[in-house]
Chain A
């Protein structure tokens, strides 16, 4: 298992989630 395959765009994440009927995990973070 590699690193987490983060999406960086909410619209893209929702499109992927809609297709897979999976919930979205949104991490609001400080990129430093």
Chain B
């Protein structure tokens, strides 16, 4: 991460604009508190310290930024800041549509829409979009029941 990912401008700009980055050595007591069992473990927390998303293992710059966008969106949505969540998900899907995080972002955008509107059609729409754009993604499979709504 130090040699390849963190020196990249896109990563540095995203972190400076959107998150507060903190590095914790694996032998810190916090590793046990957060159940860190392998490195690097990358965790998105909200400003109260609650966890919303985690990944493990190396991530290239063009995967880390969208992954962090997804983490931010989940934190915002769980904290009731739906507009901010939608903004992050929209940016992710328009800027990084080929990233590994994109299908999950599309799935999660449907979930956020449903949470804010209680309209089941938003979940069905998410399934239809996933089927069209990411037909082989696990997130399309997970949205499969929504076709019946």
Interface residue ranges, A against B (CB under 8 Å): 1-10, 12-14, 16-18, 20-31
Flag whether B149 is at the interface (Cβ < 8 A).
no
SS class of chain B's interface: helix, strand, loop or mixed? mixed
Q: Complex formed: what's the CA distance from A9 to B49 in Å?
A: 13
Q: Complex formed: what's the CA distance from A22 to B16 in Å?
A: 10
Q: With A18-B48, A26-B45, A28-B31 known to touch, is A7 a contact of B21 (CB < 8 Å)?
A: yes
By CB atoms of chain B within 10 A, which of A4, A7, A28, A31 has the most?
A: A28
Q: With A28-B34, A29-B40 known to touch, is A3 a contact of B12 (CB < 8 Å)?
A: yes
Interface residue ranges, B against A (CB under 8 Å): 1, 6-7, 9, 11-13, 15-16, 18-26, 28, 30-31, 34, 36, 39-49, 52, 68, 71-72, 75-76, 81
Query: Which residues of A lie under 8 Å from residue B16 when comparing CB positions?
Result: 1, 4-5
Closest residue of chain B to A18, judged by CB?
B47
Q: Which one of A9, A21, A25 contacts B47 once the chains associate, using CB atoms below 8 Å?
A: A21
How far in angstroms is the closest Cβ of chain A from B81? 8
